Amino acid sequence: MKQSRKKIAAKPIPSADVEDRPRRFLIGGIWHETNTFSPIATELADFHRYQYAEGEDIRRLYAGTNTEIGGMLAAADRAGAYLFPTVFAGAVPSGTITAEAFDYLVDLFLEAAAKPSAIDCVLLALHGAMVSARDREADAYFVERIRGLLGQDIPIVATFDLHANLSRRLVDAATVLIGYDTFPHVDMAARGGEAVEVALRLCEGWRPACAFRKLPLLTVPQMQATAEPPMDEIMRMVAAAENSPEILTVSVAQGFAYADVSQLGVAVVAYGEGKAPESCADKIAAAIWKRRQAFVPKLETPEAAVRAALKVKQGPVVLAEPADNVGGGTPGDGTLVLQALIEARAPSAAVVLWDPQAVEAARRLGVGGMFAGEIGGRTLKLHGPPLSVRGKIEFLADLTYKRDGAYMTGQTVRLGWVAVLDLEGIRVMLTSERCMPFDATHLRAAGIEPAQQHILVAKSGSAWKGAFGDIVTRAIYVDTPGIAASNIARLPYRIASAKQMFPLAPDLDWKPPGKVASKPATRSK
């Protein structure tokens, strides 16, 4: 995969640009994965609560982290470039961003972007599946506004998450888009570094050709792990394509199925010389389409999953519940799997639930107190009812930790006040802040050692592998209703196009616009 970029023959450098001066890069971004099925609107406070930095704080918070911004800072420093930090704001995946919050962030960015003179390139960290009440294609709107300010000539290089719902508007507004190559995501800093390398080439005046292919295909996180079939083969094709001297960079966006937007779905975007990106994008798009059946997940009911987990001799067994995946914008307070564990009297398990109200109740009782009351199920009926439980309060603290797994390493995560209840061996970790548990430290910080639990409930599609992949003996995927369900027939799409996409339209036929679907590419080397 693209750890470093290959050499590509650039056009002759115009003499005016040969002057030996440091490049001047504007850096920043707005990052959000929007689950439009969530009733929890995303406000400015949600950005402040998760990731937020203005000006020099960007360097203070992200230098040395495995984030896109961290990678951009390091590579720009290596290149001796001069950086103008603007604003970087990211919120935990949740519902549609309010127009007020989005306008505020866009205006703040544009204000900072208007200050420096003679910018050579804009470096942006985007997600690509951001939806705002201002504009349903919020990433595209943001880049268009930057274009509007800086004009057509200044290149804009943006990174995006593998879960982006890329649109033609975004592709047209940006000069080059570079997506993560990994899921679970571990290459954020590498992609930020690649963005700087690409930016340096663009500063020489060269502009690559771009090919963009959108597939009528919906896939779910559970089946998108890039080191496993069917994605591993696709990523090998991407890596091989990037070794070609005619290709600058290729990305596959798996899309984010939990958004009722017209830009929904899988996409391939390739950049390079002449017609090479076209045949490359067609070839990869055709290969993905050919494997579409392999993206359909296998799932068990909560009861069957718990029964199977209890039969496994050596744990930990992960019960993955993608439908309540905080990383996919859900509340993370769903109770259906916990209910099945309680009913089966599971002797050892750990579950994380977002429930500030229950945490408050636990704080009034203190460590060692006996909690008796309702937990979870407070946001959406779909995710199960609140459960009446009784259990000893084992742990109470106001927690903040630094991510130390492979995901966004070094990023600070605030959990707020946390309480752990012991329900006869089932440990329920209640958090005040809603945050995706992508590190083993997420549990350890609250005194729960993952390796010592027989069952770990992971409200996650694939990202849990980054935290627990090395220690689990088995993983079982659970089919619960929820706004990030792996069983996408459960999702309440209103846009007509979703129903015309595979797998909701199981017999759909599709071919990329080139002719590579039925015969080998004529341009392949």
From the list 154-162, 196-204, 278-286, 328-336, the region that binds Zn ion by CB under 5 A is: 154-162
Residue 161 in contact with Zn ion, rule: CB under 5 A? yes
Contacts of 464 (CB under 8 A, 6+ apart): 184, 318, 320, 437, 438, 456, 458
| Nearer to Zn ion among residue 74 and residue 408 (C-beta) | 408
| Nearer to Zn ion among residue 126 and residue 491 (C-beta) | 126
Contacts of 189 (CB under 8 A, 6+ apart): 65, 66, 67, 68, 70, 71, 74
Q: What's the closest the beta carbon of residue 428 comes to Zn ion, in angstroms?
A: 27
From the list 159-167, 270-278, 416-424, 441-449, the region that binds Zn ion by CB under 5 A is: 159-167
Q: What's the closest the beta carbon of residue 327 comes to Zn ion, in angstroms?
A: 7
Do residues 98 and 42 touch, judged by C-beta distance below 8 A? yes
Residue 181 in contact with Zn ion, rule: CB under 5 A? no
From the list 14-22, 109-117, 161-169, 403-411, the region that binds Zn ion by CB under 5 A is: 161-169
Q: What's the closest the beta carbon of residue 160 comes to Zn ion, in angstroms?
A: 9
User: What part of residues 37-66 is at the interface with Zn ion (CB under 5 A)?
Assistant: none
From the list 58-66, 153-161, 278-286, 296-304, the region that binds Zn ion by CB under 5 A is: 153-161
* Binding residue count for Zn ion, defined by CB under 5 A: 2
User: What part of residues 203-222 is at the interface with Zn ion (CB under 5 A)?
Assistant: none
Count Cα neighbours of 274 within 13 Å in the Cβ-side half-sphere.
8
From the list 132-140, 162-170, 281-289, 439-447, the region that binds Zn ion by CB under 5 A is: 162-170
Chain residue at closest Cβ approach to Zn ion: 163
| Nearer to Zn ion among residue 52 and residue 258 (C-beta) | 258
Beta carbons within 10 angstroms of residue 470's beta carbon: 9
Q: What's the closest the beta carbon of residue 371 comes to Zn ion, in angstroms?
A: 35
From the list 3-11, 157-165, 247-255, 514-522, the region that binds Zn ion by CB under 5 A is: 157-165
| CB environment 60-78: b (16+ within 10 A), e (fewer) | ebbeebbbbbbbbbbbbee
User: What part of residues 269-298 is at the interface with Zn ion (CB under 5 A)?
Assistant: none
Residue 226: burial class (beta carbons within 10 Å; 0-12, 13-18, 19+): buried
From the list 163-171, 189-197, 263-271, 414-422, the region that binds Zn ion by CB under 5 A is: 163-171
| Nearer to Zn ion among residue 162 and residue 276 (C-beta) | 162
| Nearer to Zn ion among residue 454 and residue 459 (C-beta) | 459
Instruction: Tell me the β-bridge partners of 401.
Output: 413
Q: What's the closest the beta carbon of residue 403 comes to Zn ion, in angstroms?
A: 15
Residue 163 in contact with Zn ion, rule: CB under 5 A? yes
Helix (H, G, I), strand (E, B) or coil at 28: strand
Radius of gyration of the chain (CA): 23
CA atoms of 376 and 354, how far apart (whole Å)? 7
Q: What's the closest the beta carbon of residue 224 comes to Zn ion, in angstroms?
A: 9
Q: What's the closest the beta carbon of residue 60 comes to Zn ion, in angstroms?
A: 25
516's tokens:
């590579």
Cα 497 from chain centre: 23
Q: What's the closest the beta carbon of residue 461 comes to Zn ion, in angstroms?
A: 9
From the list 156-164, 265-273, 289-297, 312-320, the region that binds Zn ion by CB under 5 A is: 156-164
Q: What's the closest the beta carbon of residue 161 comes to Zn ion, in angstroms?
A: 4
CA atoms of 171 and 166, how far apart (whole Å)? 7
Instruction: Tell me the β-bridge partners of 349.
Output: 426, 455
Do residues 324 and 338 touch, judged by C-beta distance below 8 A? no
| Nearer to Zn ion among residue 161 and residue 246 (C-beta) | 161
| Nearer to Zn ion among residue 373 and residue 469 (C-beta) | 469
| CB environment 4-22: b (16+ within 10 A), e (fewer) | ebeebeeeeeeeeeeeeee
CA atoms of 360 and 289, how far apart (whole Å)? 49
Beta carbons within 10 angstroms of residue 242's beta carbon: 22
Q: What's the closest the beta carbon of residue 125 comes to Zn ion, in angstroms?
A: 13
Of 184, 140, 134, 145, the C-alpha closest to 161 is 184
CA atoms of 486 and 324, how far apart (whole Å)? 10
Q: What's the closest the beta carbon of residue 5 comes to Zn ion, in angstroms?
A: 22
Q: What's the closest the beta carbon of residue 109 comes to Zn ion, in angstroms?
A: 22
| Nearer to Zn ion among residue 163 and residue 191 (C-beta) | 163
| Nearer to Zn ion among residue 161 and residue 273 (C-beta) | 161
Strands (E), 208-274: 209-214, 247-253, 267-272
| Nearer to Zn ion among residue 436 and residue 476 (C-beta) | 436
Cα 44 from chain centre: 19
Residue 32 in contact with Zn ion, rule: CB under 5 A? no
Contacts to Zn ion by CB under 5 A: 161, 163
